[in-house]
């Protein structure tokens, strides 16, 4: 059965005009966009998003970073979408990420990392609910689903 994940094309991706190129990586893989918003994430929402890290020394910095400029927030759907998107993104920072990954191809910073993706089904459910109401997520079937995933749902 398909799985959903939250993806954020972060402020540095927007400011560097990489949104289309990054989004195409996910679509080229066959993943389906079921929700999307272009928003300026508030400090309050960024704090909720990174709440699991609130005791860590980098918390305030990542909150300011996420709230610094507009982001494109998405829900993607597909079989094993969480594992798949994390592989497509690459290691956390571009300086360490493998070529061929989003961060490996577009990132060089040790602070900014272009894109966020949920790391588990539980975090995906929590994060999706932070950004989207249930009626903002569109359930539909693509014509190539059977060819991409080898199934007919």
Give the active site residues.
116
Buried b / exposed e over 20-29, threshold 16 CB at 10 Å, is eebbebbeee
DSSP-assigned letter for residue 136? G
Contacts of 9 (CB under 8 A, 6+ apart): 18, 19, 22, 23, 71, 72, 73, 74, 114, 115
């Amino acid at each position: 059965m398909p799985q959903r994940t939250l993806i954020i094309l972060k402020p540095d991706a927007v400011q560097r005009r990489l949104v289309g190129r990054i989004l195409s990586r996910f679509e080229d893989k066959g993943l389906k966009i079921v929700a999307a918003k272009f928003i300026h994430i508030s400090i309050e929402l960024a704090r909720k998003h990174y709440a699991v890290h609130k005791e860590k020394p980098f918390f305030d910095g990542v909150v300011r970073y996420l709230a610094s400029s507009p982001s494109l927030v998405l829900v993607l759907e597909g079989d094993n979408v969480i594992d798949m998107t994390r592989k497509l993104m690459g290691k956390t920072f571009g300086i360490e990420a493998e070529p061929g990954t989003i961060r490996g191809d577009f990132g060089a910073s040790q602070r900014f990392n272009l894109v966020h993706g949920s790391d588990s089904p539980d975090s995906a459910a929590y994060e999706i609910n932070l950004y989207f109401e249930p009626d903002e997520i569109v359930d539909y079937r693509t014509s190539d689903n059977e060819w991409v995933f080898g199934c007919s749902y």
